[in-house]
Structure 1
Amino acid sequence: MKVQSYLSFEGRCDEAIAFYKKALGAEVVQLMRYSDAPAGGPAGNPDAGCAGGMPGPDKVMHSVVRVGDTELMLSDGSCSGHAEFKGIMLSLTAHSDADARQWFDALADGGQVIQPLMPTFFTSNFGMLSDRFGVGWLMVVAPPAA
């Protein structure tokens, strides 16, 4: 079994992909736009389209980006313009304090720091933030191998 995160950016998916490429070195593995869907909705069924109507053809219907060893799925969703990422955070484990600082600062650009990156009793650096899209992130440095 595999559990993956699927984030709906409600119309800002292209912007999010570009941001994560720059901030984290994310790589686009797959990208499908609504214009790539067959005519008449999924499987040719016009009644099987998106709730509330079909987003613009240039919007992202589905994408997969790889961040390190993890794949995240991203979409424009229904393009409501109001993405909400409540009650969930993505945890990013760095192998060094330098990597943690670089990624933390990059993700915090345009976002909000919840807890500054700092040493704790359980790791050399830990911090929390909400990025410019409202996605919550936990940053932790992996403890040294025993």
Structure 2
Amino acid sequence: MPQAKLLLPYLTFSGQCEEAMKFYQSCLGGELEIIKYKDSQKKDQYPHLQDKVIHSSLKTSQAPILLACDDPVECEKPNAPFVNHNGYSLSVTAENVEEGLEIFNLLVSDGEVVIPFGKTHFSEGFGMLKDKYGISWMICQ
């Protein structure tokens, strides 16, 4: 039976990918790489998307942690959250409670608290939120 080496979330946006990935970098750290349609082999196929993101990657020193792009179809609906950001949460494990709370507070800016960050029966620090881009997160220490 095959075994997956790595599983990474790949988010799609309706034109807000660059903004969202810069926001996630400010919350999670890491190195951000952004490739726009105008710099890709698809530039002639999508002339109206030249400044949109065809691929982006947020990496830590260990590995990529988050991938994303602007969906060509969804870009026709500017500033609308991508309709399929339901049914999953991104989970972040912090080094300690203080770092977990800091990440939680950064990600929830202009978003919505689902479960306030605090002590639970399974963790010294845990919280759930939906960020301003409609992405659900679980932050745990």
TM-score normalised by L of structure 1:
0.80
Map Cα deviations across residues 36-77 of structure 1 (whole Å, 9 max, x no partner): 123775xxxxxxx4xxx6542011111111257442111111
- Assess if the C-alpha contact under 8 Å between 2:18 and 2:34 holds in 1: no
- Assess if the C-alpha contact under 8 Å between 2:92 and 2:139 holds in 1: yes
Name whichever of 70-79 and 91-100 sits farther off.
70-79
Q: Which has the larger radius of gyration?
A: 1
1:74 pairs with one of 68, 75, 90: 68
Cα pair distance change 1:135/1:54, threshold 3 Å: farther
Aligned to 2:39: 36
Distance 2:19 2:132 in 1: 10
Distance 2:31 2:53 in 1: 16
Distance 1:67 1:116 in 2: 27
Aligned to 2:100: 100
2:15 pairs with one of 11, 18, 25: 11
Sequence identity, in percent?
Answer: 32
The alignment partner of 1:92 has SS state of: strand
Cα pair distance change 1:35/1:119, threshold 3 Å: same
Q: Does 1:88 align with 2:82?
A: no
Distance 2:105 2:42 in 1: 43
The alignment partner of 1:35 has SS state of: helix
Q: Does 1:63 align with 2:56?
A: yes
Cα pair distance change 1:65/1:32, threshold 3 Å: same
- Cα RMSD of the aligned pairs, angstroms, is 1.9
